[in-house]
Amino acid sequence: MIAAGDALLLAGEEQLLAALPQGRWIGGTIPYFMTHEAGGTFDRDRIFVQRLPDMAAVHAQHLLPADALSTLADGGPDNGFTVILLPSQSPAHQAFALRSGEWPGVFRRPLVGWVTGAALDRLDTDSPKVIDGATGQISGTDAVVMHVALPDSHYADVDIVNLFEPGDGPALTFGDEDGADTGFTVEHVYVDGVRKRLIDHIADHGIDTRLPLVADYNGAMINVATAGIAADTGHVTFFAPVFPHITYRFAKPIKDYETLFAEQLGERHDTLAFACNCILNYNYARLAGKRTADVAGPMSFGEIAYMLLTQTLVYLTIKAV
């Protein structure tokens, strides 16, 4: 496919991607996938391929460092979409998560992508990477971006599937006057307006932190998944940032992920060009061998649909005008 000039989005282990010839592709590291053949799969020996449809043309592709990400929308086509891959915990990942909503033109065309990672038992040795297939450059700090052009007869449409809903617990808000306790790591939270340590709130109420915080971001329910709790410092870290002036609640429990994904995705009659799902959905819901309807893609360390998401399925379809 590379030799034939196909436009590809690739996912797999670093040594596999690094061995590929140059071409019209971008790639990221991950060994977890949702496949058509076997459902949820862990595979360190194969590359997952998302081939863009023939009507889609690569307009531009390149690595983009964190300090230049504000120009993300520049250089894209008038009609089409942009795919961005970010190495987990990299400067590019942090910059995108915290500031992408402020960048000029970021909502000009559909923007999708995912956060690259590694096998969960090898995070101490394997670092997340992205690769620009046009040059063969590999980076653990920069984003890789592909702008894709579409003919005027078609357009791209982004959708998310978030199975989580806010629970019945108290309202949680973050941020002090000095700007502390927002972002990826916090200590204190306001619980129905009363300030306390988040770690204490979690312990006092027996909260299952496999359930994300959920908030209404301008009409869309967005998750913030818990990454870890440091008992010695009292800090709680997240896979996506929490922001001030937004009300969060821990989500309601979910019983059957596979059935719910199928119900929410339904049947599609448009061309599916891109999809990804969250490694936390894979892990917590035991999706190995299970399916998310007919949607396949990498299981990522974060999903992108204009902004950074967690515990969410993102997909992009190409539709006729």
Backbone angles phi, psi at 180, to 5 degrees: -75, 165
pLDDT tier at 269, thresholds 50, 70, 90: low
Residue 179 Ramachandran class (φ > 0 left, ψ -120 to 50 alpha, else beta): left
Read off the pLDDT of residues 156-209 as tens digits, 9 standing for 90 and up: 999 999 999 999 999 999 998 777 899 999 999 999 999 999 999 999 999 999
| Burial category of 302 from C-beta neighbours within 10 Å (exposed 0-12, middle 13-18, buried 19 and up) | buried
Structure tokens at 306: 């204009």
pTM across the whole model: 0.94
Cα distances from 212 to residues 164, 263, 311, in angstroms, run 8, 21, 8
Which ranges in 232-276 belong to alpha helices (H)? 257-265
Structure tokens at 256: 């059957």
Q: Where are the domains of the chain?
A: 8-161+257-320, 172-250
Q: What pLDDT is attached to residue 218?
A: 84
Structure tokens at 206: 């027996």
Q: How many CB atoms lie within 10 A of CB 19?
A: 8
Residues ≥6 apart with Cβ < 8 Å to 267:
none
